[in-house]
Chains A and B, each alone.
Chain A
Amino acid sequence: MSVPDISPDRRRFLKDAARMAGGCMLAGGGLAWLARDARALPAQALRPPGALAEAAFLSACIRCGLCVRECPYDTLVLAELGSDGPATGTPYFIARDVPCEMCEDIPCVAACPTGALDPALDDIDDARMGTAVLVDQENCLNFQGLRCDVCYRVCPVIDEAITLDVSHNTRSGHHAMFIPTVHADHCTGCGMCEKSCVLPEAAIKVLPLRMARATPAEHYRKGWEEKDAKGGPVVEGIIDLPDRLPGPGTDNLATPGGFEPAFKLPGTGQ
């Protein structure tokens, strides 16, 4: 039997390196699991205004807490170590606890030293921390024909982010319902509506955009847009039949024996 001419140092080095690598793979695996777990930001945890998209935010935020310190309403809090939560040390807020008051000078963004809160955000109305969704029509008081209106009244972007849309109250038969309607194009996701909802559990909630918004169907070509773009019918030679609608300007009223509306429209002189 021949003994290979290899220094025992080599074996020790390889053994130590393998042990270290193994240990680091275990530790690194645990760390990577935590990192992955922290990516699934809970739905009720909202990032401060101007926060980069979550993946970019997690690489940019150094967890210093300066944004939290600058927040005059103590809206922002820093996440603690734990699973199923925001990444340790990162700032977030829960709208139902303390909503964002949408300061005009956006002090949290100004305080951020790294750009994790995008300094390009100079108008708080452009913030998109999430978007309000009226998640429970069955319990919303306005949907029952009552005039709660609180979410609409407190909205900092009133009449743009939330409007009250009138519709017929079929229960009473002769009342109107004032339906709070969110327009996501204008909603900053501040959470004032969710905070103020009078129900024990809010009927209107701010959800992260990833959950609340669909992406538009890019492959759909809408006939009316195509027609406008072309300035005429998309298909040549198609006959434009009269629309059978009640009201002045349609042929129905002019045609004897045609459709006779059961009501008079105000201001039409009929």
Chain B
Amino acid sequence: MSARTRMPVGLEARQKKGWIGANRYLLLRRTSQLFFLMLFLLGPWFGIWIVQGTLAGSLTLGVLPLTDPFIALQSLVAGHLPATSALVGALIVLGVYAVLGGRVYCSWVCPINPVTDAAHWLHVKLGLSKGWQPKRQTRLWVMATALLVSALAGTVAWELVNPVTMVHRGLVFGMGAAWGMVAAIFVFDLVVSRRGWCGHVCPVGAFYGLLGHKSVVRISAAQRSACDDCMDCYAVCPEQQVISPALKGKPGSSPLILSPDCTNCGRCIDVCAMDVFNFTHRFDDRVDDRPDPLTAPAGRIA
């Protein structure tokens, strides 16, 4: 372990880019989460009706229907063909996330994300072990199970327990049992499984991940030659496995993070003092592989 990896995560970036610069995307993301939440809360709290409904299904300005495509899919396999309004809403959402990155939903919109991020923050503070780490594909199994139960029981099965819509519904319509759900997920992520819920279990994230398989907006490690192996990006990334193929790929390989697991949260861009990462699109595989004599550690094996 080099001296750099022992330094506090993001310290170099803060020193070099300032606190705002080193937390730019985190701040943007929190703003986005708050923005989408407030869109739904302006009506019930202040009587400003821009958006009605919840993340499961909503109507914006009385004309734009939006439907969670995973819920619509469960409804479909349960034997109900949703009416036009819900179908159009689901297709719009499908289209947007298919372009932006499926799991952009997870890091920029989902109300559970701040809860699991908070759990992770405390997890790191307390120096807890990572605990139970089920396989990455677990969430796909959970998703398949939710669809299977939907089909067999003829109901939108995951909505019986889905913490995402439950918490959102709780915020919009009044909290009750949803607080218990928030606490349960926080505790699960804190002491049972690090990054457990979003990273391993949640079938909603799994669905949006599949949806974003060919999404356009991507993060690229274009300046990977500048990487000084501080490992800060790995420390902050909720889906660490997505980084290596792009960052540590052989010369000539794509610097793009093409894994559908990437949530486009941009945290790696924030914490990198060397500005290795940037947002771009999936056709931009330009890479600056020239070793920089100033920053490349001598004798590093690519």
Interface residues of A (CB under 8 A from B): 16, 20-21, 23-24, 27-28, 31-32, 34-36, 38-39, 55-56, 58-66, 68-70, 77-78, 80-82, 87-89, 111-116, 119
The smallest beta-carbon distance between A76 and chain B, in angstroms, is 10
Q: Which of A61, A70, A88 has the most CB of B within 10 A?
A: A88
C-alpha gap A114/B158 in the complex (Å): 17
A64 in contact with B145 (CB, 8 Å): no
Q: Which residues of B contact A87 (CB under 8 A)?
A: 155, 159-160
Q: Which residues of B contact A63 (CB under 8 A)?
A: 54, 56-57, 71, 156, 159, 165, 169
B57 in contact with A78 (CB, 8 Å): no
B86 interface hit (Cβ, 8 Å): yes
The 6 tightest CB contacts between A and B, nearest first, are A64-B57, A59-B78, A115-B83, A35-B153, A60-B80, A113-B85
Q: Which residues of A contact B157 (CB under 8 A)?
A: 31-32, 35
Q: Which residues of A contact B79 (CB under 8 A)?
A: 56, 59
Known: A81-B181, A88-B166, A113-B65. Contact between A31 and B173, CB under 8 A? no
Instruction: Convert B30-69 into 0s and 1s, putting 1 for each residue whose CB lies closer than 8 angstroms to a CB of A.
Output: 0000000000000100000000111011110000010110
Q: Chain B's interface: helix, strand, loop or mixed, by majority? A: helix
Which of B135-143, B210-218, B273-281 lies on the face that meets chain A?
A: B135-143
The smallest beta-carbon distance between A19 and chain B, in angstroms, is 9
Q: Which residues of A contact B154 (CB under 8 A)?
A: 55-56, 58-59
Known: A38-B155, A59-B79. Contact between A66 and B173, CB under 8 A? no
Number of interface residues of B (CB under 8 A): 54
B3 interface hit (Cβ, 8 Å): no
Q: Chain A's interface: helix, strand, loop or mixed, by majority? A: helix
Task: With CB as the reference atom, state the residue of chain A lying closest to B44.
Answer: A69
The smallest beta-carbon distance between A59 and chain B, in angstroms, is 4
B146 in contact with A31 (CB, 8 Å): yes
C-alpha gap A82/B180 in the complex (Å): 11
A88 in contact with B68 (CB, 8 Å): no
Known: A20-B135, A78-B169. Contact between A58 and B156, CB under 8 A? yes
B178 in contact with A113 (CB, 8 Å): no
Q: Contacting A27 at CB < 8 Å: which of B65, B67, B145?
A: B145
Known: A31-B146, A31-B160, A32-B149. Contact between A62 and B155, CB under 8 A? no
Q: Contacting A81 at CB < 8 Å: which of B78, B134, B141, B177?
A: B177
B169 in contact with A89 (CB, 8 Å): yes
C-alpha gap A55/B54 in the complex (Å): 23
Known: A60-B80, A60-B82. Contact between A65 and B161, CB under 8 A? no
Q: Which residues of A contact B89 (CB under 8 A)?
A: 113
Q: Which residues of B contact A68 (CB under 8 A)?
A: 173
Q: Which residues of A contact B53 (CB under 8 A)?
A: 64-66, 69
B183 interface hit (Cβ, 8 Å): no
A35 in contact with B160 (CB, 8 Å): yes
A89 in contact with B135 (CB, 8 Å): no
B144 interface hit (Cβ, 8 Å): yes
What are 25 A-B interface contacts by the 8 Å CB criterion? Answer: A24-B144, A24-B145, A27-B142, A31-B145, A31-B149, A35-B153, A35-B157, A58-B156, A59-B80, A59-B156, A62-B71, A62-B72, A62-B86, A63-B54, A64-B54, A66-B57, A69-B43, A69-B53, A70-B52, A78-B169, A78-B173, A81-B160, A81-B178, A82-B177, A114-B83
